[in-house]
C-alpha cells in the first residue's frame, strides 16, 4: 500500500511493505529503472546512489539498537528522489517511519509545513537520520568511558563482556560509515546536482554530521583497542603477581617439606634420642622460613 502526503505540489510517498503490485505501479507510473525495482525487493544491498536524468535512487545504511539496547544492527533506507516527490521504500529505519507519521499528522491538521522543494524534503529526512545516528555514536562513546572508569576495578568479567560488545558495535559502525562517506561527498562536491538552488550549505551540513560521526567512530576504535591492551596488561601483571606469591610460598615450604619428610623416615637421624628433638627441629624450620623471608625482602622479590 502506498501512503502519500502532499505539501502543495510536492509529494512524499511511503511504502512500508511493498507488494508486487506496488512495485509494478512504480515501474509503470514513474518509469523507474527495472534494476532499481529489483533492489527494492531484496535486502542487504550495498549503499549507493544511482543518477538518472529525471530521478535519483539512494540506498543508505543507518544503525539502530536491538530490543535489548545492546547490539547495533543495520537498517536500509531506500529512497527515490524526483523533482516534486520522494518515495521511501520498505521497512525503513524507524526515524523515517516516525518522521513520515509526524508529517502526515501535520498535513491532516492543516499545520503549516513549509517545503520549497524535494531537495529540502530529502534534507529533512537525512538530517533526522544523522541526528539519531549521532546519538547512537555518542552512546557508544559513553560506554567506552564507562569501560575506562571500570578498568582498574576487580570486575574483570564485566569489563571483558563490555569491551567485546563495544568493539563489535564499533566494527559495525565502521562497516556502515566507511562506504557511505564517499557517497555523501558527492552531494557537497556538486556531482549530485539535485533540483533546487543554494543547497550546497545544507548538503555540507549533512556531510559535516557524517564526517564527525566517522571521526568519532575511529577515535572510539583506537580508544577501545588501547583500553583492551591496557586491560590485558593489567590482567597479565595480576597473574604474574599471583604466580610470584605462590612461587615464594612454595620456595619457603620446600626446605621445610624436605626436613619433615627426612625425619619421617624410619632410620637413625640426628637428635633422635634428644628429649627436645621436636622443639629443636621446629625452631630450625622457623629460623629457615624467617631467614628466607628476610632474604627475599632484601632482594625486593616480595
CATH of the domain at 128: 3.30.460.20
List Cβ neighbours of 209 (8 Å cut-off, separation of 6 or more). Answer: 127, 130, 131, 133, 134
Residue range 21-39: mean pLDDT, rounded: 89
Domain termination site, one of 213, 236, 259? 236
Same domain for 91 and 167, yes or no, is yes
Residue range 242-250: mean pLDDT, rounded: 87
DSSP 43-100: SSPPPEEEE-SSEEEEEEEEEEE-TTS-SEEEEEEEEEEESSEEEEESS--HHHHHHH
Q: Residue 28 has what DSSP assignment? A: I
Same domain for 60 and 208, yes or no, is yes
Give the model's pLDDT for residue 220: 92
Give the model's pLDDT for residue 107: 60
Q: Give, in degrees to the nearest 5, the angle at Cα 193 between 187 and 194.
A: 95
> For residues 274 and 145, which has the higher predicted lDDT (pLDDT)?
145
Same domain for 148 and 274, yes or no, is no
Give the model's pLDDT for residue 110: 54
Same domain for 230 and 259, yes or no, is no
Q: Which residue has the cell 509526524?
A: 102
Same domain for 75 and 208, yes or no, is yes
Same domain for 63 and 196, yes or no, is yes
CATH of the domain at 290: 1.20.58.340
Tally of domains in the chain: 2
Q: Is the pLDDT of residue 277 over 60?
A: yes
pLDDT tens, residue by residue, 209-229? 999 999 999 999 999 999 888
Same domain for 259 and 173, yes or no, is no
Give the model's pLDDT for residue 179: 87
Which helix H or strand E contains 3, and what residues bound it?
Answer: strand 2-7
Same domain for 176 and 222, yes or no, is yes
Give the model's pLDDT for residue 111: 55
Same domain for 258 and 116, yes or no, is no
Residue range 201-213: mean pLDDT, rounded: 90
Domain termination site, one of 236, 260, 288? 236
Domain limits for position 265 = 244-298
Give the model's pLDDT for residue 59: 93
Domain termination site, one of 203, 236, 269? 236
Give the model's pLDDT for residue 113: 58
Backbone φ and ψ for 186, nearest 5 degrees, come out as: -65, -30
Q: How far is residue 230's CA from residue 216's CA, in Å, rounded to a whole number?
A: 21
Same domain for 161 and 281, yes or no, is no
Give the model's pLDDT for residue 154: 64
90-104, 163-177, 183-197: which is most confident: 163-177
pLDDT tens, residue by residue, 93-148? 678 888 888 887 776 555 555 677 899 889 999 999 999 999 999 999 999 998 88
> For residues 99 and 59, which has the higher predicted lDDT (pLDDT)?
59
> For residues 24 and 265, which has the higher predicted lDDT (pLDDT)?
24
Same domain for 32 and 133, yes or no, is yes
Same domain for 49 and 130, yes or no, is yes
Q: Is the pLDDT of residue 168 over 90?
A: yes
Amino acid at each position: 500500500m502506498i501512503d502519500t502526503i502532499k505539501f502543495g505540489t510536492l509529494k512524499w510517498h511511503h511504502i512500508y511493505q511493498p507488494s508486487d503490485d506496488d512495485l509494478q505501479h512504480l515501474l509503470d507510473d514513474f518509469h523507474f529503472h527495472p534494476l532499481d525495482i529489483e533492489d527494492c525487493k531484496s535486502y542487504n544491498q550495498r549503499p549507493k546512489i544511482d543518477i538518472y536524468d529525471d530521478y535519483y535512487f539512494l540506498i543508505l545504511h543507518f544503525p539502530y539498537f536491538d530490543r535489548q539496547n545492546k547490539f547495533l544492527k543495520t537498517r536500509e533506507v531506500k529512497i527515490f528522489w524526483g523533482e516534486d516527490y520522494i518515495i521511501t521504500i520498505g521497512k525503513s529505519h524507524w526515524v523515517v517511519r516516525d518522521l513520515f507519521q509526524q508529517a502526515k499528522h501535520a498535513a491532516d491538521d492543516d499545520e503549516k509545513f513549509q517545503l520549497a522543494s524535494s531537495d529540502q524534503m530529502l534534507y529533512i529526512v537525512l538530517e533526522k537520520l544523522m541526528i539519531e545516528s549521532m546519538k547512537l555514536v555518542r552512546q557508544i562513546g559513553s560506554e567506552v568511558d564507562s569501560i575506562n572508569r571500570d578498568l582498574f576495578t576487580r570486575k574483570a568479567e564485566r569489563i571483558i563482556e563490555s569491551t567485546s560488545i563495544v568493539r563489535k558495535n564499533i566494527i559495525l559502525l565502521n562497516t556502515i560509515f566507511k562506504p557511505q562517506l564517499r557517497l555523501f561527498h558527492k552531494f557537497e562536491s556538486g556531482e549530485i546536482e539535485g533540483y533546487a538552488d543554494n543547497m550546497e550549505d545544507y548538503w555540507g551540513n549533512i556531510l559535516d554530521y557524517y564526517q564527525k560521526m566517522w571521526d568519532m567512530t575511529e577515535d572510539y576504535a583506537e580508544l577501545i583497542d588501547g583500553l583492551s591492551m591496557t586491560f590485558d596488561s593489567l590482567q597479565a601483571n595480576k597473574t604474574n603477581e599471583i604466580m610470584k606469591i605462590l612461587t615464594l610460598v612454595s620456595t619457603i615450604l620446600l626446605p621445610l617439606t624436605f626436613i619433615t619428610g627426612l625425619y619421617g623416615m624410619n632410620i637413625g637421624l640426628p637428635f633422635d634420642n634428644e628429649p627436645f628433638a621436636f622443639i629443636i627441629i621446629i625452631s630450625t624450620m622457623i629460623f629457615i622460613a624467617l631467614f628466607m623471608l628476610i632474604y627475599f625482602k632484601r632482594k625486593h622479590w616480595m
